[in-house]
Structure 1
Amino acid sequence: ILLALILPGDTLFIVLRKQKLIFLHWYHHITVLLYSWYSYKDMVAGGGWFMTMNYLVHAVMYSYYALRAAGFKISRKFAMFITLTQISQMVMGCVVNYLVYSWMQQGQECPSHVQNIVWSSLMYLSYFVLFCQFFFEAYVTKTKSNAAKKSQ
């Protein structure tokens, strides 16, 4: 029970379905937790955008996990859509960081600091790389290997 209280919802779905937790999953959740703790004290600009994007993506993802857990057949394209949405979220996170930095340079009142923008940008860029790698491995490489198996 304690483990269920600590783990995010999507982790719980994965564990209950006895699926492997990949590095991207652990890395993402640990770094988001650390960054959130780091940023909360400053109530940094951009935080509302980060949370809103995250909630939207997770709402779709949790719905997908729930439907699959309930035994519904869900098109592979829906899983691809979720991953593409996550990749888009990482791009938008970098855009928000750029905007916050620009506003700070223009002298606008913007509660943030350069160090936070650097850490957030590094986090979002690393997620972007890892989610793109995941997309390629899960959907491009597997599709090619399945097509090769069918042609043999």
Structure 2
Amino acid sequence: MPLLSDFMLSVLPTDYIPKYLKSYIPGETPLSTWPVVTTALASYLAIIFGIREIMKDRPPQQLNTLFRIHNAFLSLGSFILLVFMAEEVGSIWLTSTTYGTMCDETSWTEKLEFYYMINYYFKYIELLDTVFLALKKKPLAFLHVFHHSATALLCFAQLNGKTSVSWVVISLNLLVHVIMYYYYFATAGGARIWWKKYLTSMQIIQFIIDIVIVYFGTYQHYAATHYNHLPHWSNCAGTETAALFGCGLLTTYLGLFVNFYIQTYKKPAKGKKPVANGNANGHAHNGNSYKKD
């Protein structure tokens, strides 16, 4: 029985919260339709490139306090959300099988859907990473901008498609973000951390696990619904559009991050040291290193 989430619900005035904020209702829940989402992401692109143009003849902004608050919020928020999700997934697993926990329709619970919504909204808060980069006059690398935009779309697509394996991908992403945003918070305060290179390695491992899981779930779905002669257990819940979009985007992420790792840490330019300090948007996205999802 999920004790933490039950306690949270008991102390919050949930009776006064509209249903579309507690459950994902397309067309009613904020940022739940394609026109709204595409407009929001187009606005993000216009804002960051607009800021870059405005800052061309201006000195870079420091914004250190705001930057630290932003990263502390996302690190702590990711940790709290991860704990609540782990509790709910654990309760499902105790009454099901490992496969069932990943693939049964019943694994898409009301609580997990609510947590997925919060994670989705985090993706829009994370867009501020790029605003900080632009104001600090750091390079806006393709990997950074693409990753931020596409990850918001990915979360949106999975909410609409109700893909039951979503908790695996989101949980790994939250774990990485707890560590990554802490890294940015700490280094912005002057801490010298030796393991920044391994953030990218962690993200690559994350994507490998993601791909194995989502390809496995997609195979199970297609085998159960279209190619029953193929060996499979049972259907893996979720729409085919969401599953294929997830497979394609996560595969793209893996390729981009592996390429980034090679270019940053394995192939220094002739006569130059590897760019490991993140001036080219290292392993995370805040200008010190690149960031994931």
TM-score range, shorter chain: 0.7 to 0.9
CA distance 1:142–1:13, shift in 2 (3 Å): farther
Partner of 2:244: 118
Query: Where does 1:41-56 land on structure 2 (aligned, <5 Å)?
Result: 41-56=160-175
Residue 19 of structure 1: how far off its partner (Å): 2.6
Partner of 2:202: 85
1:17–1:69 CA contact under 8 A, matched in 2? no
Partner of 1:26: 145
1:104-134 CA distance string (max 9 Å, x none): 2236242213332221111011111110111
2:161–2:241 CA contact under 8 A, matched in 1? no
Q: Which has the higher helix share?
A: 1
Structure 2 residue ranges without an equivalent (≥5): 1-46, 48-69, 71-121, 224-231, 274-293
Q: Letter of the 1:81 partner, please give it.
A: Y
Residue 12 of structure 1: how far off its partner (Å): 5.7
Residue 67 of structure 1: how far off its partner (Å): 1.3
- SS of the residue aligned with 1:142? coil
Residue 33 of structure 1: how far off its partner (Å): 0.8
Q: Which has the higher contact order (CA 8 A, sep 6+)?
A: 1
CA distance 1:35–1:122, shift in 2 (3 Å): same
* Number of corresponding residues: 144
Structure 1 residue ranges without an equivalent (≥5): 148-152
Partner of 1:73: 192
The answer to whether 1:108 aligns with 2:234 is: yes
Q: Letter of the 2:200 partner, please give it.
A: T
Q: Distance in 2 between matches of 1:103 and 1:141?
A: 39
2:162–2:239 CA contact under 8 A, matched in 1? no
Q: Distance in 1 between matches of 2:256 and 2:246?
A: 15
1:14-59 CA distance string (max 9 Å, x none): 4565432311111111111112112212321211111101101111
Give 1:133's match in structure 2, choosing from 239, 247, 259.
Answer: 259
